Amino acid sequence: MASTSLGFPSLQLQFQIQSSRNSPLFNSSFTRRHVRPISASVSEKYPSSSSVSANPPESDLTKPLPLKNIPGDYGLPFVGPISDRLDYFYNQGRDEFFKSRIQKYQSTVFRVNMPPGPTITYRSQVVALLDGKSFPVLFDVSKVEKKDIFTGTYMPSLELTGGYRILSYLDPSEPKHDKLKRVIFYLLKSSRDSVLPQFHSSYTELFETLETALADKGKANFVAANDQAAFNFLARSLHQANPADTPLGLDGPKLVSKWVLFNLGPLLILGLPKFIEEPVIHSFRLPPFLIKKDYQRLYDFFYESSGHVLDEAERLGVSRDEACHNLLFATCFNSFGGMKIFFPNMIKWIGRAGVGLHTRLADEIRTVVRSNGGKITMGAMEQMPLMKSVVYEAFRIEPPVPLQYGKAKKDLVIESHDAAFKVKKGELLFGFQPFATKDPRIFERADEFVPERFVGEEGEKLLKHVLWSNGPETESPTVGNKQCAGKDFVVLVSRLLVVEFFLRYDSFEIEVAPSPLGAAITMTSLKRASF
């Protein structure tokens, strides 16, 4: 799920949701005015969205904020970054690392070191923005620069991307940014007729895999099955190629996961002993030559499968080779990575919500699909307010892009809810997105998964605070910003997963374990549809 820091947003699929099955699937004019209210009956279990918003009192909005110095410090050179890294990964863990400093400084804006630090990089000093009011400055490309900070304080070797700075690492001010983003837009527009049928086909295979494993072993690994289904879906729908019919075979997910490790290893906890993980993963880069052959297999697959897109790239002034490396990155790192992380997380939250939510989702989805001739269409999904709210709530409570960065283009004054802070030109700004999207000053019951949070007109107003796509949910990606190029595509396929799932099943049970990327989900029960 691109154009974000350390994230996996998928490719751009700008579409206008239509109520007619025969209406165009995609429309580049999808803008804020097309966001419709989500309306549904309110159950006794969950309050209406008006009771789960927490907008500050009007007096707070007009009250002038005091100008304060940014609290915190970076410690001694080398020692400070290493100490913060050990706290971040081991001594405290990520969430407590930030919470403890908010409490210490009594501020959601402060100075701190972010991993990986020495010896991978000596640029670790950031100004942290950990609330829903200060965080959005990271989206404003008139104030912040996004050049080479996709992964934050360090940049992976260009040998991992064919020697090119990929679109995700480009600032919109760079001429190549416009051309490459247009290539991705063309890719998705040209595949618009394949998305719905290929998703149905690929995820029917996933469901059958889960059912077989449950019958044989009493449990099923959702993550492994989802990885294969996601890769197959993206290859079939975006590139019109079935991996199993090519030399790549079924190896795509495994190769992508290894390659992503070489890109993001310095930011991950792999579960290895600390005395191994620290020097091997967090202190030195894994040598790119170890992944070269695997990457070449992926490159060959996309080069052979994307001829017409490469033709369009040449027309726009981008070489076929550079375009192919960008297509690979957008499909594998951004899109596949997004589905690998977000789909298990969404299943986790829905699963934990219990059978009551499952029953209401199944009833809403099946009723609407039946009334639309038994077909899943864009218009039909627009008539599923609970389903849509559930998807948005999953994006809010656990956004697939946790870390965001931006370098100040000029001297700035950044406001939190309680104070204003001066930031100097060139300072690196950092935002931890889960704290921004669970800001209790914006959302009531901010740490709870509330399925109907975005239902109705009051719920719709909260969508501007759903920020997973490197921009508000109420705005759209363009060649001039860094909002996730595939924002609408990601929302579409996430809705499709929920719809396909509850057309087939009444309810399900899961076990959840931690994972370096997303959650490890094991299915322990799947109850087939009974009504």
Q: How far is CA 34 from the centre of its chain?
A: 22
For residue range 210-219, what is the model confidence (pLDDT) as tens digits?
999 999 999 9
Q: How many other β-carbons are positioned within 10 Å of the β-carbon of residue 96? A: 12
User: Span 40-57, mean pLDDT?
Assistant: 41
Residue whose token pair is 């991950």: 268
Burial class (CB in 10 A: 0-12, 13-18, 19+), 41: exposed
Residue 373 has pLDDT above 60, yes or no: yes
pLDDT classification of 485: cutoffs 50, 70, 90: confident
Going by the annotation, the residues of the binding site are 484
Q: Give the mean model confidence (pLDDT) for residues 54-58.
A: 51
**Which pair of tokens denotes residue 174?**
């760079």
Contact 454, 389 (CB under 8 A): yes
Residues 6+ apart with CB under 8 A from 367: none
pLDDT, tens digit, 9 for 90 and up, residues 157-211: 999 999 999 999 999 999 999 999 999 999 989 999 999 999 999 999 999 999 9
Domain-by-domain residue ranges, the chain?
Answer: 67-528
pLDDT tens string 1-29: 544 444 333 333 333 333 333 333 333 33
The pLDDT score that the predictor gives to residue 5 is 40
What is residue 22's predicted lDDT score, i.e. its pLDDT?
A: 36
pLDDT in tens, 96-131: 999 999 999 999 999 999 999 999 999 999 999 999
Question: Token digits for 245?
Answer: 């019919």
Residues contributing to the annotated binding site for heme: 484
Cα torsion angle, 104, 108, 111, 113, sign: positive
Identify whether the C-beta of residue 427 lies closer than 8 Å to the C-beta of residue 123.
no
Strand 125-129 versus strand 428-432 pairing type: parallel
What is the DSSP pairing of strand 144-145 with strand 519-528?
unpaired
Q: Which region among 5-19, 352-366, 370-384 has the lowest average model confidence (pLDDT)? A: 5-19
pLDDT at position 60 is: 52
**Under a CB-based contact definition with an 8 Å cutoff, are residues 166 and 326 in contact?**
yes
| Average predicted confidence (pLDDT) for the chain | 90
**pLDDT surpasses 70 at 44:** no
pLDDT at 353 over 50: yes
* Mean pLDDT confidence for 268-291: 95
pLDDT at 45 over 90: no
Q: What is the pLDDT of residues 488-516, one digit of tens each?
A: 899 999 999 999 999 999 999 999 998 98
Residue 38 DSSP code: B
Does residue 441 carry a pLDDT above 90? yes
Q: Which of 505, 485, 490 has its CA nearest to residue 340?
A: 490
Q: Give the whole-angstrom CA distance, residue 114 versus residue 106.
A: 19
Task: Give domain 67-528's CATH architecture.
Answer: Orthogonal Bundle (1.10)
Among 330, 436, 345, 263, CA closest to 3: 330
pLDDT of residue 518: 86
Please tell me the predicted confidence (pLDDT) of residue 483: 87
* Token pair in block for residue 422: 């001066």
Establish how many alpha carbons lie within 13 A of residue 373's alpha carbon, considering only the half-sphere containing its beta carbon.
5
pLDDT at residue 63, as a whole number = 76
71-85 confidence digits (pLDDT tens): 999 999 999 999 999
> Which is higher by pLDDT, 403 or 11?
403
pTM as predicted: 0.89
Q: What is the DSSP letter of 276?
A: H
